[in-house]
Amino acid sequence: MLNLTHLPPFQNEPFTDFNDPAERRAMQQALEKVKSQFGQHYPLIIGGQEIMLDDVVESINPSFPDQVVGRFSKATIEHAVQAVEAAAKAFETWQYISSAERARYLFDAAKLLRARKHEFSAWMVYEVGKSWAEADSDTAETLDFLEYYGRQMLRLAQPQDLVPYQDEETDLKYIPLGVGVIIPPWNFPGAIMAGLSSAAIVAGNSIVLKPASTSPAIAYQFYKIMEEVGLPAGVFNFIVGPGGKIGDALVDHPKTRFIGFTGSMEVGLRIHERAAKVHPGQLWIKRTILEMGGKDAVVVDETADLDAAARGIVVSAFGFQGQKCSAGSRAIIHEKVYDQLLPKMLAEVDKLKVGEPTQPDVYMGPVVDQNAYNKIREYIEIGKQEGKLVYGGESHGPGYFIEPTIFVDVAPDARIAQEEIFGPVLAVIKGRDWDDLMGIANGTLYGLTGAVYTRDETHIEDAQARYHVGNLYFNRKCTGAMVGVHPFGGFNMSGTDSKTGGPDYLLLFTQAKAIAHKPVHAPAPEQEAVGQGGR
């Protein structure tokens, strides 16, 4: 039987060195293979059955919007209901499958994905405009989640450390919740989608996955891997459709037990509100696992290594076009080093190449779609009224390409310093002293990630206490959390602090059942006979 002693300790998947000619050729071949599959028509998968529909959602290549990556059958509300019902039916048996067997599905899926990792990455390059490095790290994180959550489920299945009590045999078992609705974002279309899905499945739940309409192809590839390793029909259902009607139907269904969501604050709060309503036939309080927005900051004090800070600010702000909830979209700089740091930042951003991400030397590709492009362009125009534009601000076609854009002398309460833009726009803010830097950093609705560049140990100690974010980093960028190393999730309007990739994460997909067994021949304790208190 599979257990932790049979497995090597968890290790993060290495990133690919694309300086290696063999790896570079393999990635180029994967890109060619994926491109040859453009335009295919894909079904819904409900209860293991493929449902092909004439009405479709088109996934497009944001570098060349006239290229259709895939056409996905567009679900109706009736399909959403069917998917929940199919998941509920599968849960009747799946919940009793051993933790070891459920974990084995994840490990088998990791083996298949590892063998196809460049192909999986290539889908992301085309469908959401990730660079080679960003796509490769997304695939590596997907592998990490499969390997890590499989091991974590085996750990939870072990006997728990309970206090012995008289002649009772006691146990605490972590059992699944039921049907989960999984609504992942497009920006980490491999890792977050697969992380939410695999955590729910390995914990013994069945799921309905509704990927973002801009990234269904990557989700479909993951579904096919899980199907290939033999996951029972109905445990994993796949539907594509508009987030409003279809998402609401999935959340509202009385057989939905929990919702795992990553996306904007507005949509997350809508899900949370709808999930609170009890519908006829519903037997539980629905659980929500929400990862929402961020307005993250890199703080630089007067003692910092300014060269390192400049690199960290630029990478945090412009990695994957700033389309990360962890992106450092604010740089908060002490007034004593403000004028020294700005030219160093501009020199760093000058090194970034913007272009079509199938090319290996491109750092920034397009933003994901027309809606994102329009929103970011509107914020750039707002920024021109709120600060001084010192870099970028322009757009280039035919795709949704926007230059890395930097505004300086921005007020802490400016819109571009408060609202999540989700694009390559950086607001640079000046602080008077350490307390002012901390006050500005904490002065948003969010509390996801933050970084501090400093050589002052008292500032490090103070920031650990006062910088109110779920993931805090010192003297490094504020992006790039690693599974098992940096459990990820934020405070305030950044979500429910789920700490994905951490040792507590699977608890969110389970419920604990305490069991006490007294042998029938054992005499009753005296205090129980006269009426023992307690819960």
Q: How confident is the model at residue 243 (pLDDT cuts 50, 70, 90)?
A: confident
Q: What is the pTM of this model?
A: 0.96
Whether residue 411 has pLDDT greater than 70: yes
Q: By percentage, how much of the chain surpasses pLDDT 90?
A: 94
Compute the average pLDDT of residues 32-55: 98
CATH dotted code for 4-159+170-292+495-514 = 3.40.605.10
Question: Residue 244: what pLDDT?
Answer: 86
**Is the CB of residue 240 less than 8 Å from the CB of residue 211?**
yes
User: Over the stretch 461-503, which tens digit does the pLDDT of each residue have?
Assistant: 999 999 999 999 999 999 999 999 999 999 999 999 999 999 9
Does 2 have pLDDT greater than 80? Answer: no
Q: Are 94 and 204 in contact (CB under 8 A)?
A: yes
**Tens of pLDDT, residues 361-371:** 999 999 999 99
DSSP H helix total and E strand total for the chain: 16, 23
Distance CA 405, CA 391 (A): 5
Is-contact 363 130, C-beta < 8 A?
no
- Residue 288: the pLDDT is 98
Q: For residues 7-43, b (16+ Cβ closer than 10 Å) or e, as one string?
A: eeeeebbeebebeeeebeebbbebbeebeeebeeebb
Q: How confident is the model at residue 22 (pLDDT cuts 50, 70, 90)?
A: very high
- 333-356 pLDDT, tens digit per residue, is 999 999 999 999 999 999 999 999
| Residue 159 confidence (pLDDT) above 80 | yes
Kindly report, residue by residue over 101-111, the tens digit of the pLDDT.
999 999 999 99
Please state, in angstroms and rounded to a whole number, the distance separating the CA atoms of residues 366 and 395.
Answer: 10
Q: 9, 214, 175: which is closest to 96 by C-alpha?
A: 175
Q: What is the pLDDT of residue 1?
A: 65
Question: Would you say residue 528 has pLDDT above 80?
Answer: no
What confidence score (pLDDT) does residue 123 get? 98
Is residue 30 over pLDDT 90? Answer: yes
**Catalytic residue chosen out of the listed positions 85, 141, 147, 325:** 325
* Averaged pLDDT for residues 193-198: 98
291 included as an active-site residue:
yes
The tens digit of pLDDT for each residue in 412-461 reads: 999 999 999 999 999 999 999 999 999 999 999 999 999 999 999 999 99
User: Average pLDDT, stretch 202-221?
Assistant: 98
Maximum CA extent, the chain: 82
Sheet bearing 40-42, strands edge to edge:
40-42, 64-73, 56-61
Please give the pLDDT value at position 471. 98
Mean local confidence (pLDDT), 139-168: 96
Fill in the DSSP letter of residue 313: H
Tokens at residue 8, please?
């090597």
User: Average model confidence (pLDDT) for the chain?
Assistant: 96
Per-residue pLDDT averaged across 180-201, rounded? 98
Q: Is the pLDDT of residue 374 over 90?
A: yes
> Residue range 267-282: average pLDDT?
97
Average pLDDT over residues 178-186: 98
How far lies 311's CA from each of 294, 307, 318, 344, 528, in Å? 21, 6, 11, 8, 66
pLDDT band per the 50, 70, 90 thresholds, residue 4: confident
**Cβ of 485: how many Cβ atoms within 10 Å?**
12
Domain extents in the chain: 4-159+170-292+495-514, 297-474
Catalytic residue among 13, 119, 127, 291: 291
> In terms of CATH, what superfamily is 297-474?
Aldehyde Dehydrogenase; Chain A, domain 2 (3.40.309.10)
pLDDT at 525: 57
What CA–CA distance (Å, rounded) separates 103 from 1?
Answer: 11
> How high is the pLDDT of residue 6?
81
Residue 239 has pLDDT above 80, yes or no: yes
Contact 326, 187 (CB under 8 A): no
DSSP 392-422: ---EETTTTEE--EEEES--TTSHHHHS---
List all residues 6 or more positions away from 40 whose beta carbon is below 8 Å from its beta carbon: 70, 71
Closest CA to 227 of 38, 47, 30: 47
Q: Which range (49-63, 223-237, 379-393, 517-531) has the least confidence?
A: 517-531
> Based on the number of CB atoms within 10 Å of its own CB, is 435 exposed (0-12), middle (13-18) or buried (19 or more)?
exposed
Exposed, middle or buried: residue 116 (CB in 10 Å: 0-12, 13-18, 19+)?
middle
Token pair, residue 99, equals 């933790």
Distances 365 to 69, 164, 321, 399, 424 between C-alpha atoms, Å: 16, 59, 7, 9, 11
335 is catalytic: no
Report the percentage of the chain scoring pLDDT > 70.
97
Instruction: Give me the pLDDT at residue 509, please.
Output: 98
pLDDT of residue 520: 82
